[in-house]
Structure 1
Amino acid sequence: MEQYWTFAITVFTGLFAITNPIANVPVFLGLTEGAGNVEKNRINKKATTTAFLIIMLFTLLGKFIFDFFGITIPAFKITGGLLIFYAGFRMLQSKKSNLKTLDTVDVDENIAISPLAIPLIAGPGTIVTTMNFVTDASYLYIGIVVAIAGLICWMNYLAFRYSTFIVDRIGNNVITVIGKIMGLIIAIIGTTMVIDGIKLVIEQA
């Protein structure tokens, strides 16, 4: 039982770091500037639901995708690890979110699909991280990943729903610091994936 809790905590940490609900708050506020509460809530529900469906799709079909394209687990771990490390590195290098760059965006409910669901929540880093957790995994572990993904998307929903309150109480500077910490965690996860991939290559040689 302990290994399941350990796995669940690892999945939660990885997905929380890569999706980063708190750091996404300024982006959501900027994209929905001028929208009413009802419209914001509708966009929020559509974005988080779509993101969950995308993550679940890749989680459940991960093995089929690997078999269909002939992708080996070591190759995926190394490539995916590099991508995740790069995503974390960019988060460490990025500056404070600037809402002014988003003020000119029209309030269109299509933003729920892009860029909110894709790539803000269910971006390449999220998909790669999720698929890494289910490679060569049993159905129970896959179920845990799906459940954690649902929890993460729900947390994004709550962060967006109370976005104004969060920014007023925490402030953009603290949100930026959180983003840096999450970036470091993501970079470490990426490095770990690369190391695991190299170990598998050596073992199979």
Structure 2
Amino acid sequence: MFDLIRDFPNVFIPIFVAIDVFALLPVFLSLTQGMSSGGLRSVIRQSVFTAFVISISFVTLGEIIFRVIGITVDDFKIAGGILLLIIAVLDIVQTDKHEKRKKATSTIGIVPIGVPLIVGPALLTTLLVLLEHYGPVLPLLALVINLIIVWFLFTRASLVVDIIGKNGILAISKLMDILLASIAVMMIRMGVENLIRQFY
């Protein structure tokens, strides 16, 4: 029990950073502009449910594929870390990283809000690495709690954006990108260190 409590921040924070919910709020407001309260609630439920199902499905299939083709945890830490680092660097230098994904449809809760805005490459990569390192309980618990936070902030998106402001949202988003880059470097370092130990 103590180990779960001790390790939980190490699992929760990378998932929170990978989702970067504050960067999603302005896009979410733009996509749902003019919707009734009932329609808005439906989109939020749809997006969070989609994010959960896609995450669980990808993690399950990912583990099976890795076992079949012989990819080790350390291989994925290095490759996943490099991918996360590229994503983080690109997001840092872009000021409109989500703007091109806007598309008003009746299924916006699924695409683009559920995927790829909530569940993108950064979250999926992070989940797989955490699952291999900590087992299934902590990462899945942290994912559920993070999706509850997403749901809560989406229901109050307009208020949050008004309080923080667009510049504040941008600043928080850039901070999340820097943290994501740091996590990526840590993953690469851990993978390389473990591979070196196998040979020496």
| TM-score, with length taken from structure 1 | 0.89
Kindly state the Cα deviation for residue 24 of structure 1 after the two structures are TM-superposed.
0.8
- How many residue pairs match? The answer is 199
The aligned residue for residue 14 of structure 1 is: 14
Superposed CA RMSD: 2.1
Contact 2:17 2:177 in 1 (8 A): yes
Alignment partners' CA distance in 1, 2:137 and 2:45: 23
Where do 5+ consecutive residues of structure 1 fail to align? none
SS in 2 for 1:22: helix
Contact 2:91 2:97 in 1 (8 A): no
Q: Is 1:34 the counterpart of 2:34 in the alignment?
A: yes
Q: Return the letter of the residue paired with 2:77.
A: K
Q: Return the letter of the residue paired with 1:127.
A: L
Alignment partners' CA distance in 2, 1:84 and 1:126: 9
Q: Is 1:191 the counterpart of 2:188 in the alignment?
A: no
Alignment partners' CA distance in 2, 1:98 and 1:9: 27
Where do 5+ consecutive residues of structure 2 fail to align? none
SS in 2 for 1:120: helix
Q: Return the letter of the residue paired with 1:93.
A: V
Alignment partners' CA distance in 2, 1:142 and 1:168: 37
Q: Return the letter of the residue paired with 2:195.
A: V
Q: In structure 2, which of residues 148, 153, 167 is the aligned counterpart of residue 154 of structure 1?
A: 148
The aligned residue for residue 78 of structure 2 is: 78
The aligned residue for residue 110 of structure 1 is: 107
Cα shift readout 1:99-145 (whole Å, capped 9, x = no counterpart): 7994xx43x231111111111111111011000011154xxx31121
Contact 1:63 1:136 in 2 (8 A): no
Q: Return the letter of the residue paired with 1:157.
A: W
Cα shift readout 1:151-200 (whole Å, capped 9, x = no counterpart): 11111111111111111111111000000110011000000111111112
| TM-score, with length taken from structure 2 | 0.91
> CA 1:93/1:70 → structure 2, altered by over 3 Å: closer, same or farther?
same
Contact 2:24 2:98 in 1 (8 A): no
> CA 1:100/1:77 → structure 2, altered by over 3 Å: closer, same or farther?
closer
The aligned residue for residue 180 of structure 1 is: 174
Instruction: Tell me the percent identity.
Output: 28
Contact 1:43 1:112 in 2 (8 A): yes
Contact 1:52 1:150 in 2 (8 A): yes
SS in 2 for 1:33: coil
Kindly state the Cα deviation for residue 146 of structure 1 after the two structures are TM-superposed.
0.7
